[in-house]
Structure 1
Amino acid sequence: MLLNDLRTQVAHYARKMYESQLVRATQGNLSARDPESGLICITPSGADYQLLTAEDIAVVDERGNIIEGRWKPSVEMPLHTYILSQRRDINCVMHTHALYTSAFGVVYQPLPMILQESASCLGGEVPIVPYQESGTQAFAELVAQTLGDGPAVIWGNHGAMVVGVNLALTFSIAHALEDTARIYCLARQLGTPVPLPAEEVARLHANWKQGYGQTAIDTPLTAS
């Protein structure tokens, strides 16, 4: 099977997304690019995350042509292929429907940096992508424009997206995003959250990139 190891990794992290409530039912999607071939492994459309195996993961090229797979790729494939074509510094795209993060997209409030750990990997206020029907090239370009060279964006009236060098780091960034959103909401009930100074966020992020952000190796998994 083509790219068996990477497809196993994608299925594994897709299940972890479900287990950690970053997605529910068949929401969200995940992709990872093989740096050597440039091919992209992506979750299938309407997948049951709990049952996903390597064989369920589709393989496409950067133009979205299906190379191998028994199921149709995610309807968000145009987004994944476009983001990966624009960002050669990353290899993974994860679209989530985490509750607290999604709430920020409903009120169109960018997420400030209030936690040291999250500021390290997120690197600054997380912007909101204006609402537009997803699954189209136009939406992919809008997301890419809003994302810039950052690691995360929140989609207006929809969900969120994070990107990273590998699957493990991308999963960690998605949790940092949701943790920040949740703690901000809790803190608002106690008082006024105090964001970290911009210069401190920049320093933390620079240190994180040197120590973790450029790590390009995932721990091998046994095939599922």
Structure 2
Amino acid sequence: MLLPDLREEVARYAQKMYASGLVRATQGNLSARDPSTQLICITPSGADYQTLLAEDIVVVDAFAHVVEGRWKPSVETPLHTYILRRRPDIHCVMHTHSLYASACSTVYQRIPMILAESAACLGAEIPIAPYQISGTPEFAELIANTLGDGPAVIWGNHGAMVVGTTLALTFSTAHALEDTAQVYAIAKQLGTPVELSREQITALRSHWLQGYQQTSIEEKAARS
């Protein structure tokens, strides 16, 4: 089996997406690129996240052609591969239907940086792409352009997508997005949420990136 370790990790994080409420039923999808081969492991279409195994994960190339797998890959595979081709700085793409981020997508409510932890992880206000039917080349270009070089994007009237260098970081980013959306919705009922300044966000982001880079070095050393 090609890329057994990465396929197992994708299956494990897909299960974590379901268990933590980032997706429900068979919603959403998750992919990770192997830097050495440039092959991409992605969840299958209509996957039951609770029973997903490594052998259920589909391997595709950079242009969404199936290389190995017993199931059809996610219908959003062309979007995942398009973003990964555009973003050599990241290797993972996660599409979620988390409740509060999805709610923001229906009212086109921007998600400002009001929490220090989320500002450190996300680094900036999250852009919102206008609604468009998914699964088309035009949709892939729209989402990639709206995402730009950032870590997350809201899909209008749909859900959200986050990207990252590792599955662990991508999973954390998805929760940072959902936590901010939820706290913002609650805070607006209590008063006027105070947004962090651009300078504060920049300082938080810089400090967080330094800590994350150090953690990555330590993890690599532990595995070697």
TM-score (norm 1): 0.95
Match of 1:133 in 2: 133
Task: State how 1:31-180 maps to structure 2 within 5 Å.
Answer: 31-180=31-180
In 2 relative to 1, CA 46–218 (structure 1 residues): closer, same or farther, beyond 3 Å? farther
Q: Could you tell me how far apart the structure 2 residues matched to 1:58 and 1:217 are?
A: 29
Alpha-carbon offset, residue 135 of structure 1:
1.0
Q: Could you tell me how far apart the structure 1 residues matched to 2:58 and 2:216 are?
A: 22
Q: Deviations over 1:160-189 (max 9, x none)?
A: 000000000000000000000000011111
Q: Choose 196-205 or 116-125, whichever is displaced more.
A: 196-205
Q: Deviations over 1:122-168 (max 9, x none)?
A: 00100101100011111111111011110001100000000000000
Match of 1:183 in 2: 183
Which consecutive unaligned segments of at least 5 residues does structure 1 have?
A: none
In 2 relative to 1, CA 22–218 (structure 1 residues): closer, same or farther, beyond 3 Å? farther
Any idea what SS the aligned residue of 2:202 has?
helix
The share of aligned pairs that are identical, in percent, is 70
Q: Could you tell me how far apart the structure 2 residues matched to 1:154 and 1:61 are?
A: 26
Any idea what SS the aligned residue of 2:150 has?
coil
Q: Could you tell me how far apart the structure 2 residues matched to 1:15 and 1:83 are?
A: 23
Q: Deviations over 1:26-55 (max 9, x none)?
A: 000000000000000000000000010000
1 or 2 for the larger relative contact order (CA 8 Å, sep ≥6)?
1
Q: CA RMSD in A?
A: 1.6
Check conservation: 1:166, 1:215, Cα contact below 8 A: no
Check conservation: 1:110, 1:126, Cα contact below 8 A: yes
Question: How many matched pairs?
Answer: 220
Check conservation: 1:169, 1:213, Cα contact below 8 A: no
Match of 1:200 in 2: 200
Match of 2:212 in 1: 212
**1:129 aligned partner, one-letter code:** A
In 2 relative to 1, CA 99–111 (structure 1 residues): closer, same or farther, beyond 3 Å? same
In 2 relative to 1, CA 85–215 (structure 1 residues): closer, same or farther, beyond 3 Å? farther
Q: Which has the higher helix share?
A: 2
Q: Could you tell me how far apart the structure 2 residues matched to 1:168 and 1:201 are?
A: 22
Which consecutive unaligned segments of at least 5 residues does structure 2 have?
A: none
Any idea what SS the aligned residue of 2:74 has?
coil
State the 4+ residue runs in structure 1 displaced beyond 3 angstroms: 213-220
Q: Could you tell me how far apart the structure 2 residues matched to 1:215 and 1:85 are?
A: 26
TM-score (norm 2): 0.95
